[in-house]
């Protein structure tokens, strides 16, 4: 049997297949300018000052860690958490290269900060929350790591419209991200109070605090 294709359909099929094979585009470019802007926002909303102890969850290669280490000064401390051992080594090397003795790299876990209880004045993360497999456990660990009254800041991005997945699947293609409403609900369930919540385009910013 001979199968005939409509020549008008073939180009459209090629475009669709090609689009499906393209890598997912990150909605927030992490340029030097964006790093500086995010660091400035974190200093403001988390009330970071000289002498503060601040934890970062999922620090990557430590760009924000290094910027905020300069803000807290030698009397302060940055706990820089990463799951990937190679990135922990990269953070260690970057801090040494910048002469930042106040940076403590921490080997993280999927549902624990690995920070001491009530050690942090503030904790933050960028483009990490949607990767949590077990938000209740991780949020509970963050809560315990904050001092009473301590603040948490989350920078993330929404999935495509209608594409939000349950925990453990929020980083999949076409579902990459988390909504502000979901973050708010999950943080409240862990005992946090919401200070502010904004969505601009696909950018999500949530600030919460541990009561007390």
Q: Where are the domains of the chain?
A: 27-209
Q: Are 76 and 107 in contact (CB under 8 A)?
A: no
What does the pLDDT read at residue 30? Answer: 73
pLDDT in tens, 84-137: 999 999 999 999 999 999 999 999 999 999 999 999 999 999 999 999 999 999
Q: What is the Cα–Cα distance from 36 to 43, expressed in whole angstroms? A: 11
12 — pLDDT class (breaks 50, 70, 90) = very low
pLDDT in tens, 154-212: 999 999 877 788 888 888 877 789 999 999 999 999 999 999 999 999 999 999 999 99
27 — pLDDT class (breaks 50, 70, 90) = low
DSSP string, 21-73: HSPPPPSS---HHHHHHHHHHHHHHTT--TT-EEEEES-TT-HHHHHHHHHH-
What does the pLDDT read at residue 63? Answer: 96
What does the pLDDT read at residue 29? Answer: 62
Q: What is the Cα–Cα distance from 109 to 93, expressed in whole angstroms? A: 21
In 3D, which of 100, 99, 98, 107 has the Cα closest to residue 80? 107
Whether pLDDT at 142 is above 70: yes
Task: For the sheet with 77-82, list strands across it.
Answer: 103-107, 77-82, 53-57, 120-126, 146-157, 203-209, 193-200
Helix 135-145 and helix 180-189, axial crossing angle in degrees, nearest 10? 60
Q: What is the Cα–Cα distance from 182 to 176, expressed in whole angstroms? A: 14
| CATH architecture, range 27-209 | 3-Layer(aba) Sandwich (3.40)
> What pTM did the predictor assign?
0.85
Q: What is the Cα–Cα distance from 76 to 71, expressed in whole angstroms? A: 8
């Amino acid at each position: 049997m001979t199968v005939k294709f409509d020549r008008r359909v073939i180009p459209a099929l090629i475009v669709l297949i090609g689009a499906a094979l393209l890598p997912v585009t990150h909605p927030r470019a992490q340029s030097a300018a964006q790093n500086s802007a995010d660091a400035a926002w974190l200093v403001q909303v988390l009330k970071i000052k000289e002498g503060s102890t601040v934890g970062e969850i999922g620090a990557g290669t430590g760009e924000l860690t290094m910027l905020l280490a300069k803000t807290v000064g030698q009397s302060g401390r940055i706990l820089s958490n990463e799951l990937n051992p190679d990135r922990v080594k990269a953070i260690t090397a970057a801090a040494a290269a910048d002469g930042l003795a106040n940076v403590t790299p921490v080997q993280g876990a999927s549902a624990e900060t690995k920070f001491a209880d009530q050690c942090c004045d503030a904790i933050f993360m960028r483009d990490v929350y949607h990767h949590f497999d077990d938000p209740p456990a991780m949020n509970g660990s963050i809560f315990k790591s904050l001092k009473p009254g301590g603040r948490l800041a989350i920078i993330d991005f929404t999935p495509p419209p209608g594409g939000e997945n349950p925990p453990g699947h929020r980083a999949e293609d076409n579902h990459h991200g988390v909504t502000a409403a979901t973050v708010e609900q999950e943080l409240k369930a862990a005992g946090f109070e919401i200070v502010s919540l904004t969505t601009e385009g696909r950018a999500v910013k949530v600030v919460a605090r541990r009561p007390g």
